[in-house]
Amino acid sequence: MTPANITFFAPLGAGHVNPTLGLAAELVRRGHRVSYAATRRFESRIVETGAAFVPVVSTWESLPRDVPQMHGAELVRAMSLLLDETKAMVAALGGLPAPDLVVHDGPLAWWGRILAHRWGVPAVETWPNFVNNQHWNMRGYAKLNPLSPRLLLVVLRLARMLRREGIRDVGGFFRGDTAADRIVTVPRAFQPAGDTFTDGYRFVGPVLTDRRFQGDWEPPGPHPVLLVSLGTGYNDRPDFFRMIVGSAAGRPWHVVLAIGDAVDPGALGPLPPNVEVHEQVPQLAILRHARVFLTHAGMGGALEGLAHEVPMVAVPQMAEQRANADRLVELGLGRQLDPARISAAGLWEAVDGVAADPGIRDRLAWMRREIDDAGGAVVATDAVEAVLG
């Protein structure tokens, strides 16, 4: 088909950028001109896809570390922060040349909806998490009082902003009703009540790239590899990492800890010879060798573990991660531990247990087939080209 100009928008969050990279790369491979607006921390991974990187500055980069939880008053605070970010991004990006199509993160990159409307071009939304319908909804995990005065104020502020853009349907804006297509980078088999989503969402499964910019990794010895990560948003848990370091000595595991930038490695105590600690790791490269993944159950990491058929022990840190962890357990793909009650003995019992469980291995092989059947980057790119068509 005729090459098109396509602009991607994503928020500050690896769990929202990484799931789009395979789609951007495949669009470039098919000859389209792709621009991707994101913060500098994602530049190398975006450039690797062949897309033109458009740098932006996020208001979230200067915020304190107290990332809001996604329920109650904290969810309202998160929505207020998102509204502030949306205003800043619309102001910063509104002067870009109008593309033929916008691809943007559905849950958070509200500025994609606004700019697509302003430019009069179609938008395709990417959803890197569970989606909602009348049969399943995140409300079971993320409680919110619809009559909260603070919530009503946020909605009023949003409505005023949208009216200035000529957008009247606030509810439809929240849902993304104007999207030409909504691509969910989760396999239908992993989505709760997945068979009930008969229209409105296209489940393509994880759309992964090699992430060669992160480098490679090889296990240093014969021991099975345990990868430990709490992601990038809720990882300020020195007590958790210290417990693992202090209990790993002498165990028949090689432990790789990705602790993020909130924890001082020096505060974890002496490292046993079978433990390595890093701020960030080449996660996909390590998962190719991992025997178990001890994870916060963020959707991005969980799907990467499933794509590599790695048994998981989930230690969720917030509402959405609890939903993901529950689904992992429900489908027989791993175990879940309560982060408020976790102990070294319980942690290692779970790690050893999932590593030795043939039932989990069988279920992981089933999910891998579901991921392959979902189609990934090829199906997602076909959907974008159908909108362009």
Helix, strand and coil in the chain, % to nearest 5: 45, 15, 40
> Is the domain defined by 214-371 classed in CATH 1.10.10.10?
no
pLDDT at 45 (0 to 100): 95
pLDDT at 71 (0 to 100): 45
pLDDT at 326 (0 to 100): 97
What are the Cα distances from residue 152, in Å, to 142, 145, 165, 182? Answer: 17, 10, 20, 27
What are the Cα distances from residue 238, in Å, to 107, 302, 350? Answer: 30, 22, 20
Smallest CA-to-CA distance from 219 within 191, 255, 243 is with 255
| DSSP code, position 295 | E
The series of mean pLDDT values per 10 residues for the chain, 389 residues long, is 96 93 98 98 96 96 64 72 94 97 96 97 97 90 75 89 94 91 98 94 94 88 95 81 95 96 87 95 96 96 97 94 97 96 96 98 98 97 97
For residues 9 and 104, is the Cβ–Cβ distance under 8 A?
Answer: yes
| DSSP code, position 310 | -
For residues 371 and 206, is the Cβ–Cβ distance under 8 A?
Answer: yes
Q: Which two tokens stand for residue 41?
A: 């921390």
3-state per-residue secondary structure call for 362-385 = HHHHHHHHHHHHHCHHHHHHHHHH
Q: Where are the beta strands (DSSP E) in 263-366?
A: 275-278, 290-295, 312-314, 334-336
CB-based contacts of 280, cutoff 8 Å, min separation 6 = 214, 258, 260
The pTM of this model reads: 0.93
| DSSP code, position 57 | -
Angstrom distance (rounded) from CA 295 to CA 283: 11
Q: Where in the chain is the domain with CATH 3.40.50.2000?
A: 5-210+374-388, 214-371
- 364-367-373 Cα angle (round to 5): 145
- Three-state DSSP class for 124? strand
Q: Which two tokens stand for residue 220?
A: 């240093």
The CATH fold assigned to 5-210+374-388 is Rossmann fold (3.40.50)
- Kindly give the pairing relationship between strand 101-105 and strand 5-9: parallel
H or E element in which residue 93 lies: helix 72-93
Place of tokens 């010895």: 221
Amino acid code (one letter) for 5:
N
Mean of the per-residue pLDDT values of the chain:
93
CB-based contacts of 42, cutoff 8 Å, min separation 6 = 10, 14, 17
What are the Cα distances from residue 66, in Å, to 234, 238, 322? Answer: 9, 15, 19
Phi and psi angles of residue 48, each rounded to the nearest 5 degrees, phi first = -60, -25
pLDDT at 349 (0 to 100): 98
Angstrom distance (rounded) from CA 167 to CA 176: 12
pLDDT at 229 (0 to 100): 95
Q: Which residues is 228 bridged to in the sheet? A: 257, 294
